[in-house]
Structure 1
C-alpha cells in the first residue's frame, strides 16, 4: 500500500474510534490494490480488528503491517486495542472438540481443564475453554484461542493469531508477524519475532517484545510494557502504565494518567497523559545523558508529541 490513487467510492463517516473507512485509507496514502480490496470486502467500512483478521485470512501480511503501522501512528485509541483483541478471541471460539490431529489444517478443540494440546502442522486451529490449558504450536498460520483462566500458550510459527479471554494467561510467540490479543487481567505476553502486533485490554498486563517493528497496545490499567527492538510503536490508554523501551526510533504514547515511560534508545518520540513522566536518553557528543519530562512542568503538555533535540531539550514534533 504505497501509491495514492483514488477510487471512486463514497465512504461512511467514522462512527467509532476503531472504525476503518475507505476515506481514512485514502488519507493515509494506501495503494490502489489495497483500497480496492478493502472497498470490495467492506463497502461500509469495518472495525480495525475485523479488517486485520480479513487481511490475515487472505494472507495479505504486508498490507496488515501497513494498516497496523498507520493505525498506531495516526489513529491509536483504546477502541483500536479492544477491537483487535475481540476479533482475535472470536476467531477460534467456534472450534469444536475433535480427535488429536497433527497434519496440515488441523482443528483441535478442548473443553476440559488442564488440557495439553500440541500441533506441528501448518494452518492449525486450536481452541480451549478449560482452565489451565497448555497449548503449543510450531506451524505457520496457526489460529489459537483460549477462554479459560491461567492458560499457557506458545507458538513458534510465523503469522500466528492468538487470542485469550481468561485471567492470568501466559502467551509466548517467537514467529514473525504474530497477532496476539488478550482481554483477561494479569496477562503475561511475550514476543521475540519481528512485526509483532500485541494488544491487551485487561488490567495489569505484562507485555514484552524483543523483535523489531513491534506494535504494542494496551487499554487496561497498570500495564507494564517493555520493548527492546527498533522502530517499536507502543500505545497505552490505561492509567498507571509503566513503559520501557531500549530500541531506537520508538514512538511511545502513554495517554493514561500517572504513566511512567523510560527509554534508552535514540530518536524516541513520546506523548504523555495527565501527570505523566518520561525519561529519555540522548548523547551530547561525549557521553550518554538523560532528560526528564514531566507533564504540566517546564511547558510539557498533555497529548503532545515530543522528541529530544541535539541539546537534549524536548521539542514539539508533528504526530509521530
Structure 2
C-alpha cells in the first residue's frame, strides 16, 4: 500500500507549525506520500519536501515510496540530469539513470539497472529496480534502494543508507551514519576511535543483526536505532 501521511504522523516527526498548517489545508483527510511531495514541489516548498523525504526514508523504505518519489519529482522536473539547487531528476525506464549535483536536489529511478546519484547536501537518492544502485556524496543525504542486488552508499556525514532487496548492501562512509539492510545483505558503518576513522561491517543473520532495522556504530559496536533515533 502507498505510504500515507497524516497530521498525527507529522506531529510525531516534530513538523513545523507552518508545514502542519499547509498540510491541513491541502490534505484535510491525510494524503499519500507521492501526492504530498508533488504538492510541495508545486508550491515550491522544497525544504519541506526534503524534510519529508528524510523522515520517510528513516521510517520505511518500500517500492511504493520510491515510486511516489519518482512521480513527485517528475511533477517538478523532467530532466534526467541536473546541476542546480532544488533541481530534481527522475526516470522510470530500464537503465535510465538520474543524477543531480545541487543541494536539496533529489534523484529517483524505478527501472532495473537505473542508478540514482546526488552530490549536494541534503539531496537524497532512491531506486526501486533490481541492480539499480543509489549513491550520495553530501552531508545528511540519504540513499535508499528496494530492488534485488541494488546497493545504497553514502559518503557524507550523518547520511543514512537503506536497502530492502535481497543481497543489496548498504554502506555509510561518513561519520554519524546509519544503515538498514535486507536479507542476505551486509552493511558498513564508519566510526572514529579517537585517533582515526574505522569501518564496522555488519551481516544480516549474524551477531543478532536483523533485516529491516536501523543500526549505527558506537565505540566500534553496532547499536540498534529505533524511532526518532533513526
What TM-score do you get using the length of structure 2 for normalisation? 0.87
Q: 1:154 to 1:78 in 2, by over 3 A?
A: closer
**Higher RCO (C-alpha 8 Å, min separation 6):** 2
Secondary structure of 2:174's aligned partner: coil
- 1:228 is displaced (CA, Å) by 1.0
Conserved in 2, the CA contact under 8 Å of 1:25 and 1:35? Answer: yes
CA distance in 1, matches of 2:197, 2:122: 29
What secondary structure, in the 3-state scheme, does the structure 2 residue paired with 1:186 have? coil
- Distance, in Å, in 1 between the alignment partners of 2:161 and 2:49 is 17
Displacement of 1:288 after TM fit?
5.3
Given the alignment of the two structures, is residue 48 of structure 1 paired with residue 48 of structure 2, yes or no?
Answer: no
Is 2:149–2:167's contact at 8 Å kept on the other side of the alignment? Answer: yes
Out of 294, 297, 307, the residue aligned to residue 216 of structure 2 is 307
| Residue number in structure 2 paired with 1:258 | 184
Relative distance call for 1:207 and 1:300 in structure 2 (3 A) is closer
Secondary structure at the aligned position of 2:161 is classed as strand
Shift of 1:193: 1.2
Q: 1:318 aligns with which of 196, 217, 226?
A: 226
- In the other structure, the counterpart of 1:213 is 140
Please say if residues 66 and 126 of structure 2, whose CA atoms lie closer than 8 Å, have aligned partners that are also in contact: yes
2:77 aligns with 143
Unpaired runs of at least 5, structure 1: 1-15, 92-141, 146-152, 267-281
| Structure-1 separation of matches of 2:187 and 2:168 | 8
Alignment length, in residue pairs?
A: 228
**Alpha-carbon spacing, 1:237–1:156, altered in 2? closer, same or farther (3 Å):** same
Is the Cα–Cα contact under 8 Å of residues 178 and 193 in structure 1 kept in the other structure? Answer: yes
The alignment status of 1:171 with 2:98, answered yes or no, reads yes
Q: Evaluate the alpha carbon distance shift between residue 212 and residue 21 of structure 1 in structure 2; reply closer, same or farther with a 3 A threshold.
A: same
Q: Greater Rg, structure 1 or structure 2?
A: 1
Cα 1:48/1:213, change in 2 over 3 Å = same
Unaligned runs of 5+ in 2: none
Q: In the superposition, relative to structure 1, how do residues 143 and 54 fare at CA in structure 2: closer, same or farther (>3 Å)?
A: same
More helix by share: 2
Q: CA RMSD in A?
A: 2.3
